[in-house]
Amino acid sequence: MKKGKQSKRLDGKVRRAIKKKAKAAKKKGKKQARKDKSLNRKRLKKNLDIPNLWPWKEEMLKKRLARMKETDAEEERNKQVNRKRQLKKSREKMLLKAVQGSGMETEQQKPAESKPTGQKFFRRELFRVIEQCDVVIEVLDARDPLACRCHSIEQKIISMKSNVTSGNKKLILLLNKIDLVPSDVLKEWIRILRREFPVIAFKCNTQNQKSNLSQSKANFKKGITTSQSVGSDALLQLLKNYSRSLNLKTNLSIGFVGYPNTGKSSVINSLKRSRAVGTSSTPGFTRDIQEVRLDSHIKLIDSPGVLLNENDNSVGLVLKNAVRVDQVDGQIAVNSVLERCDSNVLMQVYQIAEFSNTEEFLFLVAKKSGKLKKGGVPDLEQAARLVLQDWNGGKIPFYMQPPKQENDDDEISFATSFSSKFDIDALLRKNHGAAVTTMKECNTGKTFVQLKSRSEKDDQEMADAEMV
């Protein structure tokens, strides 16, 4: 019998031993690879937090903040350089394409018309509203009414002929947000403004429901809630009496104009006693003309907020809440606030220690509110935005003192060429008296901050210089 070939198959015990050794070698190789990788890798430096008990903590944080500012500035410079290089390359490519395509006969296309900017469009809409309306109501912020006026537009309104009536267009000054100023300051502003045009003291309704918004009847024995509107009944009576006195067969158009965020849309909602138009605390929310029918004889027209005075600077517009906070340098705007506001009031509002300049104030506010960057460094930009939001939101209750007048006689006749068919003086006096009394009741116990005017600031700097 022929003997077969010997099998090459290993014994099971030997196979398992080889498999075990291979697994151990593979595990050892992975471990060595991880070790080599960790040795070659650079370890990142960890920013250690400074202990709170360290006596020089604030100085070290300020130094760290200065280093971060230098780094950010260097990065910004590098970005500008790269951007310029990219622009240069793109221009060279465009010139090369133009040279290469100059020999080709193509139809010359007409250049596209540039679209107007936002403010140009809104100003055009404003003049459309003025042309359509018979009565124009200029909405002013009671905290600083003079900064919200535009005398050139006012003179243009009263010189234009009405489309419905035989006379000129009528102008009414509506002093809104009267609950944000002391009652004596409100009384003085009314006394000054009523010398030129009829003035209505007004406070918009702030209730949350969509309909059946309540109006204050000035019942002071029971007290009123601050969410009710004040002055809407007087304005409604004035408009209805004027419409009734003309015996018109067509509608009387009432237009509302003014700076952004003065409350034009909220006034219309308070008159309509429902959410007829949208409202928001963000400037520029209303972007087109909106018409609301009050009754069968009166039509209300809401216009977008327009920067009426062309010489307004960006910082002043932010302090009037006419533009958004993120559109300007926050630290410059806060510096303007500190120049015109008492530092003791700001220390009390934010519960911070005494400060000497804008950077130190923002440093303390950022630490108090938890606006911190990496490593516990205060974020001054976020702190500046927080202060501006508090300013526009009413947390810092500021107001401008009315200018002193030569004639301090309180018995001043109203500047009214409105209508001789009804007693507008009695109606306005009733509105002014009720508004002052109502705000005196509502503002009991509140504190307000008087802003320094530019002239007062200059006088104070001159006095300090003389003392030195």
What residue spans of 341-453 are helical by DSSP H? 343-350, 358-369, 380-393, 424-442
Cα 417 to Cα 198, 263, 330, 423: the distances in Å are 9, 26, 45, 11
- Average pLDDT along the chain: 79
- Does the pTM surpass 0.75? The reply is no
Confirm if 278 and 265 have CB atoms less than 8 A apart: yes
The span from the CA of 395 to the CA of 294, in Å, is 34
Confirm if 420 and 167 have CB atoms less than 8 A apart: no
Mean per-residue pLDDT, 350-370: 89
Confidence (pLDDT) at 4 = 65
Tens of pLDDT, residue by residue over 154-172, are: 999 989 888 877 788 889 9
Confidence (pLDDT) at 137 = 92
Confidence (pLDDT) at 7 = 76
What architecture is domain 118-311+403-445?
A: 3-Layer(aba) Sandwich (3.40)
Confirm if 371 and 379 have CB atoms less than 8 A apart: yes
Instruction: Quote the DSSP letter at residue 325.
Output: G
Of 268, 265, 267, which is closest to residue 285 (Cα–Cα)? 265
Tens of pLDDT, residue by residue over 116-135, are: 446 777 888 888 888 888 89
DSSP string, 136-205: EEEEEETTSTGGG--HHHHHHHHHSBPSSSSSB-EEEEEEE-GGGS-HHHHHHHHHHHTTTS-EEE-B--
Buried b (16+ CB within 10 A) or exposed e, 368-405: ebebeeeebbbbbebbbbbbbebbbeeebbbbbebeee
Of 38, 239, 18, 259, which is closest to residue 139 (Cα–Cα)? 259
Mean per-residue pLDDT, 36-65: 74
Confirm if 268 and 243 have CB atoms less than 8 A apart: no
Whether 425 shows a pLDDT value over 80: the answer reads yes
- CATH class, domain 314-401+454-467, is mainly alpha
Tens of pLDDT, residue by residue over 376-387, are: 888 888 888 888
Mean per-residue pLDDT, 338-363: 88
The span from the CA of 117 to the CA of 101, in Å, is 33
Mean per-residue pLDDT, 337-343: 85
CB atoms within 10 A of CB 450: 17
Range 245-251, long-range pairs (CB < 8 A, 24+ positions): 245/419, 245/421, 245/422, 246/164, 246/165, 246/419, 248/164, 248/165, 248/297, 250/164, 251/164, 251/293, 251/296, 251/297, 251/298, 251/299
255 against 226, higher pLDDT = 255
Q: Is 300 helix (H, G, I), strand (E, B) or coil?
A: strand
Q: Domains of the chain: which residue ranges?
A: 118-311+403-445, 314-401+454-467
The values of phi and psi at residue 31, to 5°, are -65, -40
Whether 455 shows a pLDDT value over 60: the answer reads no
The span from the CA of 361 to the CA of 346, in Å, is 9
466 against 46, higher pLDDT = 46
